[in-house]
A = this chain, B = another copy of it.
Amino acid sequence: MADEKATPLLDELEKGPYPSFVREIKLAAKNNKMAAGVLHQLEKSYRDKIGYWKHGGIVGVMGYGGGVIGRYSALPDDFPEVAHFHTLRVNQPAGWFYTADVLRKICDMWDKHGSGLTNMHGSTGDMVLLGTRTEELESVFGELTKMGFDLGGSGSDVRTPSCCVGPARCEWACFDTLKTCYEITQHYQDELHRPAFPYKYKFKFAGCANDCVAAIARSDMSFIGTWKDDIQQDDEEIKNYAKAGLDIQSDVVENCPGKCMTWDPDNMKLTIDNSYCLKCMHCINVLPKALRPGKQRGVTILLGAKAPIVEGALLSSVLIPFYDIDNEGLDDLFELVEDGIWDVWTENGKNRERVGEFIQRVGMGNFLESIGLEPDPHMISHPRDNPYIFFDQEDEEEEA
């Protein structure tokens, strides 16, 4: 054990053009013992090719069941600074907008009470404050709430919702992602902080089918903006693109999954059969000055995405084909979620069964019935191809 403080392996990762996390840990380690501890334990992990963290126990702030991930070093004698190394998940502002001011306040607080290390942001969307001791948790929480921040979710609760930048900066937002995200987050504060579900429940909001927040892949309830009427089209701008050398035929028309576009090169005229348009965004993406989503906008609401544990990964699938969320508001939705989905899932879901797995187990048809939604062919990519239909007894009586 030559130089206890040497980190020859991690030092290798200070080299190279991309910003280095090792530089960050060292920066924090200058004034912060916990950061130094994590640096040295990590160097040992690099040497031994294995992690040295123990399964976290239940730690948290008073009255909350989530928001803190407990973490303990497996080698507390060697790295006493990180004997405790819990993280706090701090609910980010919708769209991840900050001011210089508020960031500095958080930094000051975290230097005082934690490791000085953060994740900006965690994969769910939270600001992750990386590493502190159990006895600091209440102080951190107190200072956060004073600044107007609160903790996000962890465990079997509503997880911190997140959204794309949406109408704040994007010309394609088909609904107000930030407002919806904020309002749903506020409405479900209790569900976010006090786990009462079979498993986690995530919300994500993307303003259009580009899905810049990966909602369809990683949220139990995914909101994706769309429209019903015709794409707004500016023929002059299309000509400009064509004149500037864009190959409308091969770049736009041939990539259209709806196969609903034709290009007349002689007249530089693009024609869209909007009744076949799948609202995929491709043509709009390529011709942002010429094409825009229609005016009759809303969301498609999809249900059930999750990572592979246990039954294999799922993508969300259509639950509500179209909802004019900005005009019709959230009340009906709250009702559907609370009195419908959560009620049924909480009542009948197995422990650690995400809502997507639950639906597959009980059957989408039964699930829809239990939450009071009509089956709609937009919910499926195709009808069943196996003949194993469970017929209701009632229906039979009628038919017989």
For residue A387, which residues in chain B have a CB less than 8 angstroms away from its CB? 308
* A77 on the B face (CB < 8 A): no
Return the chain B residue nearest A259 by Cβ: B254
Q: A120 to chain B: closest CB distance in Å? A: 28
Interface assignment of A312: CB less than 8 Å from any CB of chain B = yes
When C-beta atoms are compared, the residue in chain B nearest to A310 turns out to be B388
| CB interface residues, A 357-400, toward B, < 8 Å | 385-388
What is the copy number of this chain in the assembly? Answer: 2
- In the assembled complex, the CB of A219 is this many whole angstroms from the nearest CB of chain B, namely 19
**A384 to chain B: closest CB distance in Å?**
10
Shortest CB–CB separation between residue A130 and chain B, in angstroms? 26
Is A313 an interface position by the 8 A CB rule? Answer: yes
Contacts of A385 in B (CB 8 A): 313
Tell me the complex Cα distance, A386–B308, Å. Answer: 7
Tell me, rounded to whole Å, the shortest Cβ–Cβ distance linking A147 to chain B: 40
The minimal Cβ–Cβ distance linking A279 to chain B, given in whole angstroms, is: 24
Q: How far is the CA of A313 from the CA of B387 in the complex (A)?
A: 9
Closest B residue, CB atoms, query A312: B386
Closest to A311 in B: B386
Cα distance A385–B308 when bound, in Å? Answer: 10
Instruction: Bits for A299-329, please: 1 = Cβ < 8 Å to B, else 0.
Output: 0000000001000110000000000000000
A387: nearest chain-B partner, CB-CB: B308
* Contact indicator per residue, chain A 275-316, by CB within 8 Å of chain B (1) or not (0): 000000000000000000000000000000000100011000
Distance from A55 Cβ to chain B, minimum over Cβ atoms (Å) = 21
Bound Cα distance A237, B119 (Å) = 68
Question: With A and B bound together, what is the CA distance between A201 and B378 in angstroms?
Answer: 39
CA distance A319 to B389 in the complex (A): 32
**A388 / chain B contacts, CB cutoff of 8 Å:** 308, 312
Residues of B within 8 A of A312 (CB): 386, 388
A312 to B313, CA, bound (A): 22
Chain B nearest CB, measured from A14 CB (Å): 30
* Alpha-carbon separation in the docked complex, A386 to B312 (Å): 6
Q: Which residues of B contact A386 (CB under 8 A)?
A: 308, 312-313
CB neighbours (8 Å) of A313 from chain B are 385-386
Q: Produce 1/0 per residue, A219-242, CB < 8 A to B.
A: 000000000000000000000000
A387 vs B310: C-alpha distance in the bound complex, in angstroms? 11
Question: Distance in Å from the Cβ of A325 to the closest Cβ of chain B?
Answer: 32
* Binary contact readout A192-216 vs B (1 if CB under 8 angstroms, 0 otherwise): 0000000000000000000000000
What is the minimal beta-carbon distance from A276 to any residue of chain B, in angstroms?
16
Bound-state CA distance A170–B385 (Å) is 33
Task: Give the complex CA separation of A113 and B128 in angstroms.
Answer: 86
Alpha-carbon separation in the docked complex, A312 to B386 (Å): 6
User: Complex formed: what's the CA distance from A376 to B388 in Å?
Assistant: 34
- Complex formed: what's the CA distance from A387 to B308 in Å? 8
Bound CA span A308–B388, Å: 9
Task: State how many angstroms separate the Cβ of A360 from the closest Cβ of chain B.
Answer: 14
Q: What distance in Å separates the Cβ of A305 from its nearest Cβ neighbour in chain B?
A: 14
A-B contact pairs, 7 of them (CB 8 A): A308-B386, A308-B387, A308-B388, A312-B386, A312-B388, A313-B385, A313-B386
Q: Would you list the 7 A-B pairs with minimal beta carbon distance, nearest first?
A: A312-B386, A308-B386, A308-B387, A313-B386, A313-B385, A308-B388, A312-B388
A residues with CB within 8 A of B: 308, 312-313, 385-388
